[in-house]
Structure 1
Amino acid sequence: MELNDARTRPAHPHLPPPRAPFHLTTWVTAPRPEAAPGIYRQHHTPHDPKAAEQATTPAGPLLLRAALNLLAAWLVFIYGRGLALSGLGLLGLGSLSEIPTILVALAVNLLIIVGVIRVFGYMGRWREVGRRFLLPLLSHTVTEVPPAPEAAPVVDVWAELRPVGEAVRRLEGEPVGDVDYVRLHQAWRTVGSDPAAWQEFAAQVAARGGAACAHPSEQRDLPGGRAARHDLLVRQVRLGTAQDVPKNPVAHRNAGFALDPRVLGTSLLAVGPAGTGKTAALARPVAEALCLQALAGAACAVVVGASDADLGPDDWYDVVIAPGDPAAPYGLDLYGAAPHSDEAAARLADALLPDELAPRAESARAAMQQVVGPYRAAYGRYPGVRALRALLAGDAEGWAELGEQVRKSGRWAEFEADLQQRERMHGRADDPGALLADRLALLDRPALAAGFSGGPDAKPAFAMRALEHPLRVRVKLPERSHPEAARILSRLLLGQFTQAAADRRDRELFAGMVLDDATAAVDAQAIRGIQRLRGANAGVVLLLRTLSDLPEALRAPLFGAVGNRMAFPGIAPWDGRLFSEAWGTHLVRETAVTHVPDTSGGTVRRAGRLVRKALSGTTAQTESVTTRDVERHRWSPSDLAHALPSGHAVVSLTSVTGEQVPPLLVDLRH
């Protein structure tokens, strides 16, 4: 059974949970200036490059220089004014009447003041002193009076929906959350010029108000509240703050750090040992963001992790798959509802084989295809785990029945060669079918059997082809009770996701996958699939404890396949080396100071140096300063392994349009 949407879940209307008061007009009209990828745009203040460059001057020398220039300006004004008036007196100023004399004196004073301020204010950088020290002081001492509510600008937040007519008036009279606002506008844009769709949308708004066009689950927000800060209008989730350090680009310093689909569309790889916050600071907020965007009709989410991983409560999701848990409502289609049997068989064969058996992958795919194709032709469906295992192992009774059914279907000529080839391989030492049957035995366990398609007791099966709907899917892997089965399922899910996301006809929804532990899921096929996601409005977030768990041949290709790379504290130096090489080098101005004994001068100076050495015990030296630009790693392996503070991470970003952000040091706690 293929599950195409979430309509099989019971509908329970859910109002937004209580949290900080939400004011729709304030949220919609909040400033969101254009910014580089990774910057949280809501209320962001872009950096002034000139001011940022000037701000690098230490406060002490800056204030001292300003004070000295102020003293010099006062002296120049006093004496310059006297000299100027004396000179004018010699030219006949004293012969004028009283009023012209006063006017001329005022003009002279004004000219001198303007000249002094321009010259000494520039040299003393008075404007920077005022900006850095006086304005903040005044802002603390002057009370800012907020404008009266009636004086606030009136903004029509429903202007885009006004063509619907009087139905929009209902939205003005009831509380509407950010999920509702984004969902209604998303639905309105899909209406287009279709009159029937337009009328249906208007009827829904008139009848249900803010609950119109709701997600099939009828939820209007996530149960239990939100842990992260979201801005659904630009689809961002805030994860932390970029630090004000020289290694960070000036535009990102002290700015909020956020992820959105234009960044996640190039996929993200995060590496860090257990306990460094990968799940809490990255996987859970991203899963939360994807679930919220699914409720708004803009995304679909597949979140995969161990059953005890904190990736949000089950109420966040429409489909919860937990192999080994009898209470789990859904199972998993091992074939992903693939339209072509060869594609489905190849994907399953790749998932079954561990890394050490990768050389036998081609023969294993062929063996799987020689069974799955004829079975589907004979019975009109894919085989279940138990039936597939028996056929791969060469069960005589099963083979006889399969051959008879293929003949009855009228497709014997099409599959005769496959069936005969598979039958010849039965019992041979190099038969890949026996290997696949042994691997399938890991899934054909009593506790797991009901979780997969096929069999009378099978649960409704989720198929990855359902990614064209705003679904929220949580897969709980049985890592403790069946660790090898969990690894097989991890590989299978990643392979199915990359294939299904790339093959979607309608790519309007962003398809996101969060894989909490991707160690077993990454193989050569998965890496090629990840590369195809950039143009498919889809992306994956892969979390690894260490790159050493991957075969060495896969590490560099994986780094090349993802556009975003994130290093957490405590990674091994050999892991840091890959990050350091991927992030490259930049030019750094390096100053070298050399001291050599002073041998200059004549007899008198030399005698003086000898006396000084005898009295102080030190040798007079000359100082030589050399400045040059040298290439240095943006982040060295040693820095990544030993210098990252707890609660921080270094992350580089690439957007789907090719914009790149060099590695940022981010505090994930704020």
Structure 2
Amino acid sequence: MTKRREQFDNLKKKLAAIAESVSRPADAPKQAPAGPAAPPWESIRVTHPRLAEQLDELAASADFNDVDRARLINAIRGQVANPPELERLAQTIERDRSAALVHPSQQRDLPGRRFARHNLLAGQVRLGEVVPDHRGDFEITGDFGIDLDVLRTSLLVIGPPGSGKTRGIATPIVEHLSLAALTGKASMVVVDPKGTDFAYDGWFDVTIDPLNPTCGFSLFGGSRTADVAADRLASALLPPAVSDDKAYFIDASKNALYACLAPFEAAYERWPTVPELLGLLRAEQSSIDRVKERLKGPGAKEMKALLDTRKNQTLRTADPAASLVERFALLDRPALRRLLDHPGPTFQMRDLNRPVRVRVSLPEAEYPDASRILARLVVSQFVQITSSSETDRSIFKALVIDEAGRFVDDYVARGVQKLRSNNAGLVLLSQTMSDFPIEVRATVFGSTGCKAVFGGIDPQDADVFSKWFGDQYVNETTISRSAQSGTQYNQRGMPDGRSNSQTSGYSIRRVERARWTVSDIITGVPAGHALISLARSNGARVGPVLVNLRA
């Protein structure tokens, strides 16, 4: 027993080390002995003493907050091997002081009181406090938080209405991403189906709102080629999954989009507006003639042939792209045209390669079908941009989706696997796994490295999480008892009454049991708490742990 106890203690130490690595960024130093801590810019004091002295002066100033500190330290870390850039940074600090390298919004902090505690240098946000529980392999106590490296593995949050998904997890993460963008380390897109859950003043630079289109949204996400633009638009317009006998119509719809986009872009050197593209998709002769008249040069013949191909499609007994045309017509509404064909500034998804903060407010009550198309377009464009080789890996890019089950298709689910290497991640919130299409549930669940689940969920979901959280060894004690009776004899050998005796024994064995059973997850997770398991981009994992999100 002593040897087995020693092995178990060694296992606890190893697991505790893994937990510490998950809760601390990969580049963060290990805890040092108590004493005066050196400033983060101490490493440049010898090579750039002027810059170090300037930062010392700023640190003593009351005007120097944690956003300023993180913004300047991040700039130094990115240029530590570039002396000319560091010299220019010193000149900028001398001129602008604490406002040096300020975000394009000119914000140096978020207005109002913060919802959570943040360590912007480490990229960490506190979510709550760990509740010690006997079902864990080792004891983790104290504050519980996540960082940007953890979010690179993507996070799936499942909880019934009113459980606290938005207030307990999504809001602190969005607040942290907004602050991280002010430091130049992150960009984000938040899909807000209700339109009010994340409508905080000063948190966003761009709001995509069809009911109040102060900024436009590009249908094509900044695509540079017609084939990419056609695929992006088709992925949002077409159903997420079809049977094999319907695949022909899907392919024909994609070809129809390409046959309209390629000639128009060649003729006008821009992408069409909603009415212009709809006219070409419907093969209206006036629209086709206008494009053909502008086509010149060696490739004109091929482009005109594409337009004729679309015309021939519509002349068939049944137009194979008719479904796509009708779905695209849902966007041909006055309010949506003002958004998609906005004359002023227009957000393109490739803008995420700079620290920008975007909120997409969906008017589901007014335009339910068009809102779903818009949301799917946003999600698919995000995955395409962040998965491409052109993405800027120095900036963490996040997409937060509330009610995610309605907007995630197979393309997006498979794209989650590519985001980690490109320094991007998804935060998917849903009431149940059943909200996701059945063909993508396993992919979504397996591709997201981090999981959070609240009490009161569907039994089927609880069973999936119970299996994911795994088993643990527990001691099972078996007690056995036996009774014996007989006749007692005296010295003469004569019967002298009856006797009864009882014996007992016990045995202990180690058996595997579910760490969190289905019943435990459904009824054993208190209100305001969540079971959370985390993963790092290097594969290290920890959890599940019970977290009090209200602490």
TM-score range, shorter chain: 0.7 to 0.9
Deviations 1:352-395 (A, max 9, x none): 12346574433322222222222211211111222212211222
Greater mean deviation of Cα atoms: 156-165 or 279-288:
156-165
Change (3 A) 1:405 1:638: farther
Name the aligned partner's letter for residue 526 of structure 2. P
- What residue in structure 1 maps to residue 303 of structure 2? 415
Deviations 1:503-545 (A, max 9, x none): 2343111111111121222111001111100111110100111
Alpha carbons 1:450, 1:459 under 8 Å: kept: no
Secondary structure of 1:552's match? Answer: coil
In 2, the alpha carbon distance for the partners of 1:409 and 1:571 equals 62
In 2, the alpha carbon distance for the partners of 1:207 and 1:609 equals 108
In 1, the alpha carbon distance for the partners of 2:476 and 2:485 equals 28
Alpha carbons 2:195, 2:363 under 8 Å: kept: no
Alpha carbons 2:256, 2:310 under 8 Å: kept: yes
Alpha carbons 1:40, 1:255 under 8 Å: kept: no
Alpha carbons 2:136, 2:515 under 8 Å: kept: no
Asked whether 1:468 is paired with 2:353, we answer yes
- What residue in structure 2 maps to residue 203 of structure 1? 91
- What residue in structure 1 maps to residue 529 of structure 2? 648
**TM-fit CA distance, 1:431:** 2.4
Secondary structure of 1:663's match? Answer: strand
Identity score, percent: 39
Alpha carbons 1:320, 1:475 under 8 Å: kept: yes
In 2, the alpha carbon distance for the partners of 1:314 and 1:364 equals 41
Aligned partner of 1:541 among 402, 427, 436: 427
In 1, the alpha carbon distance for the partners of 2:194 and 2:371 equals 10
Bigger radius of gyration, 1 or 2? 1
Aligned partner of 1:284 among 171, 175, 180: 171
**TM-fit CA distance, 1:427:** 4.2
**TM-fit CA distance, 1:566:** 1.3
Alpha carbons 2:471, 2:512 under 8 Å: kept: yes
Asked whether 1:524 is paired with 2:400, we answer no
In 1, the alpha carbon distance for the partners of 2:308 and 2:496 equals 105
In 2, the alpha carbon distance for the partners of 1:450 and 1:337 equals 18
In 2, the alpha carbon distance for the partners of 1:226 and 1:630 equals 46
**TM-fit CA distance, 1:168:** 4.0
Asked whether 1:187 is paired with 2:46, we answer no
Deviations 1:304-359 (A, max 9, x none): 1125332251311111111122xx42121111102222112111111112346574
Name the aligned partner's letter for residue 469 of structure 2. W
Secondary structure of 1:215's match? Answer: coil
Q: Which runs of 5+ in 2 are unaligned?
A: 1-17
Mapping of residues 469-484 of structure 1, within 5 Å: 469-484=354-369
Asked whether 1:668 is paired with 2:549, we answer yes
Name the aligned partner's letter for residue 552 of structure 1. I
Compute the TM-score of the two structures, normalised by the length of structure 2: 0.87
In 1, the alpha carbon distance for the partners of 2:173 and 2:394 equals 19
Alpha carbons 1:451, 1:459 under 8 Å: kept: no
- What residue in structure 1 maps to residue 12 of structure 2? none
Name the aligned partner's letter for residue 667 of structure 1. N
Name the aligned partner's letter for residue 216 of structure 1. P
Aligned partner of 1:393 among 282, 290, 295: 282
Alpha carbons 1:318, 1:473 under 8 Å: kept: yes
**TM-fit CA distance, 1:472:** 1.1
Asked whether 1:259 is paired with 2:146, we answer yes
Q: Which runs of 5+ in 1 are unaligned?
A: 1-32, 47-146, 613-619
Secondary structure of 1:37's match? Answer: helix
Deviations 1:65-98 (A, max 9, x none): xxxxxxxxxxxxxxxxxxxxxxxxxxxxxxxxxx
Alpha carbons 1:351, 1:492 under 8 Å: kept: yes
Change (3 A) 1:640 1:197: same
- What residue in structure 1 maps to residue 5 of structure 2? none
Asked whether 1:36 is paired with 2:21, we answer yes
RMSD: 2.9
Mapping of residues 67-466 of structure 1, within 5 Å: 153=36, 155-156=38-39, 158-160=41-43, 162=45, 163=48, 165=50, 167-168=54-55, 170-175=57-62, 176-194=64-82, 196-252=84-140, 254-325=141-212, 328-355=213-240, 359-360=246-247, 361-406=250-295, 408-428=296-316, 430-452=318-340, 454=341, 458-466=343-351
In 2, the alpha carbon distance for the partners of 1:241 and 1:297 equals 29
Structure 1 or 2: more strand by fraction: 2
**TM-fit CA distance, 1:173:** 4.8
Alpha carbons 1:350, 1:365 under 8 Å: kept: no
Secondary structure of 2:21's match? Answer: coil
**TM-fit CA distance, 1:418:** 3.0
Higher relative contact order (CA 8 A, sep 6+): 2
Change (3 A) 1:280 1:421: same
**TM-fit CA distance, 1:551:** 2.3
Alpha carbons 2:116, 2:125 under 8 Å: kept: yes
Name the aligned partner's letter for residue 175 of structure 2. E
Change (3 A) 1:404 1:578: farther
Asked whether 1:554 is paired with 2:443, we answer no
Secondary structure of 1:653's match? Answer: strand
**TM-fit CA distance, 1:655:** 0.6
Alpha carbons 2:40, 2:73 under 8 Å: kept: no
- What residue in structure 1 maps to residue 396 of structure 2? 510
In 1, the alpha carbon distance for the partners of 2:506 and 2:251 equals 64
Change (3 A) 1:372 1:588: farther
Alpha carbons 1:184, 1:213 under 8 Å: kept: yes
Alpha carbons 1:272, 1:546 under 8 Å: kept: yes
- What residue in structure 1 maps to residue 9 of structure 2? none
In 2, the alpha carbon distance for the partners of 1:201 and 1:411 equals 49
Deviations 1:462-495 (A, max 9, x none): 0110111111111111122112222112211111
Name the aligned partner's letter for residue 159 of structure 1. E
Change (3 A) 1:416 1:398: closer
Aligned residues: 517
Secondary structure of 1:543's match? Answer: strand
Aligned partner of 1:657 among 516, 519, 538: 538
In 1, the alpha carbon distance for the partners of 2:208 and 2:489 equals 92
In 1, the alpha carbon distance for the partners of 2:546 and 2:235 equals 38
Structure 1 or 2: more helix by fraction: 1
Alpha carbons 2:385, 2:391 under 8 Å: kept: no
Secondary structure of 2:132's match? Answer: coil
In 2, the alpha carbon distance for the partners of 1:394 and 1:604 equals 113
Name the aligned partner's letter for residue 371 of structure 1. C
Alpha carbons 2:133, 2:139 under 8 Å: kept: no
